[in-house]
Structure 1
Amino acid sequence: MNITYYPYRPIHAEQGHITVIETAIPEMYSGFLRSFREAQDSVKLSDEHFNRLALEKYTEWIGDLMLELDLDVKLKRLLLKHVLNSLDEYTATKLIDQARALSNEVLAAVDSLDIAMDVAPITEIDAIIKFSGLHFSPIIHEDIYGKIETLVKALLELNEQKLVVLTNVTHYLDVSQMQDLVRLINTTPLTFLIIEFSSQQHRGYFADCDYVGIDKDFLDSRD
């Protein structure tokens, strides 16, 4: 996949790799953010043959790990759907039987009221799973690396094939955690893009990534 921001030459993003674009130019940084977050036209996306790809269709905006990434909002609905599609018949039947048993227990509990009442049994698997209140553990949100690791695992489960776009990773991960993230992505078919705004280039921090830095003088680190 190629990412083009005129007048710079295309930046190639590969599966199993983390591509980093770090710029000291505010307009360029905001142009990248608007393009990937709002599908504006500052950035062009294309395949290996330079056929144009629609940003909104081929990118997955994650953004700032702390300020924008809410795992429950971003992924819970998709993972619930994935779980529903993955359930075997035995497990589905067992869940329905347990839901009926719970309904009977509730009905028995109100029997003493001597009032004609009934329960609406939950027999749909999706309703049963929603009723369970399934959500991401709060512990994950307290550990920023654990949060991004969970994101990666979820994207793999969902067979994500889009360009996954994050920002401001240097604010949250230390060098060791960044190296762990690189090794993790290297074992997956995911394509990750990190966008950073900084007056200083972090080549060492991103040593194992496909790095492109644009300094305040508009110079490309690849030249």
Structure 2
Amino acid sequence: MPIGHHNLTLITVQNRSLYTNWLVEFEQYNEKIHFSNELNELFEPAKSYYWLGDLMLTVDLNKLFQKSIQDIMIEFLSDEEQSQIMTTNQQIQSLILQNSYKLDLPIEITSSFTISQIYKKIRFSFFDSVEITPLEKIETLLKSFALTHNEKLLVFTNLTHYFDSKDFDKLNELLSDYDQTALSIEFNQSKSSDDHSDYLIDEDFCLFES
């Protein structure tokens, strides 16, 4: 099945057993799943795609990107901003040292943090509102993947549960804007005339394994 770059490919599966097997194999990065390029060169599953599953039920933006976003924020710091952070850190240590004098004990402050260590002490999280709005959530997801230079296929399930025709048009714009490619595996036993599927696997499909 050809998958277009920088847009969404929808596969509708009407065979429940096949759908269930696919989800398990995708989630486990099973070797039965094969991806290749235009030259038919095969890639390992783990290097080919990123399993995400249900956008609203299993995708946790904070778990996915909290660490990488911290690293990116540090990369974006200018020399002046780094200097300001270290100056502020020294001021905080000075205040702590002054406060220690109240104890009238022979103690000293020796802690010295790097910028990376300072950022690790600060908890970053996405707005709660982003997590409850499908289109806003997937835009944040795609933008975050773009910032981390992701080139893997993003694999979802049942995006049609959350998006209508207008949303799918917007989603394809976002995929193009952020240079990302997505696949959604849908389970639907009744294919309607307004279905957006690129591929349909009907309920009579039989899988033969040697």
> TM-score normalized by structure 1?
0.82
Could you tell me which runs of 5 or more consecutive residues in structure 2 were left unpaired when the two chains were aligned. Answer: none
The answer for the alignment partner of 1:179 in structure 2 is 169
SS in 1 for 2:52: strand
Distance 1:28 1:74 in 2: 28
Matched, 1:142 2:142: no
Superposed CA RMSD: 2.2
1:73-222 matches, within 5 Å, as 73-201=63-191, 204-206=194-196, 211-218=198-205
Distance 1:96 1:17 in 2: 43
Distance 1:119 1:142 in 2: 45
Matched, 1:38 2:25: no
How many residues in Structure 1 have an aligned counterpart in Structure 2? 206
Distance 1:186-1:112 versus aligned 2 partners, 3 A rule:
same
Choose between structure 1 and 2: higher strand proportion.
Answer: 1
Once the two structures are overlaid, the 10-residue window that deviates more, 186-195 or 115-124, is 115-124
- Tell me the percent identity: 24
1:126 offset after TM fit, Å? 1.1
Could you tell me which runs of 5 or more consecutive residues in structure 1 were left unpaired when the two chains were aligned. Answer: 1-10
The answer for the alignment partner of 1:57 in structure 2 is 47
What do residues 181-218 of structure 1 show as CA deviations (whole Å, max 9, x unaligned)? Answer: 12221333211111111112256252xxx711112133
Distance 2:173 2:75 in 1: 30
Distance 1:196-1:181 versus aligned 2 partners, 3 A rule:
same
Distance 1:94-1:42 versus aligned 2 partners, 3 A rule:
same
1:34 offset after TM fit, Å? 2.4
Distance 1:179 1:61 in 2: 22
Distance 1:42-1:91 versus aligned 2 partners, 3 A rule:
same
1:43 offset after TM fit, Å? 2.1
The answer for the alignment partner of 1:8 in structure 2 is none
What do residues 170-189 of structure 1 show as CA deviations (whole Å, max 9, x unaligned)? Answer: 22233332322122213332
Instruction: Assess if the C-alpha contact under 8 Å between 2:53 and 2:59 holds in 1.
Output: yes
Distance 2:129 2:97 in 1: 36
Distance 2:90 2:195 in 1: 55
Distance 1:133 1:202 in 2: 46
Please tell me the residue identity of whatever aligns with 1:200. Answer: S
1:122 offset after TM fit, Å? 4.2
> TM-score normalized by structure 2?
0.87
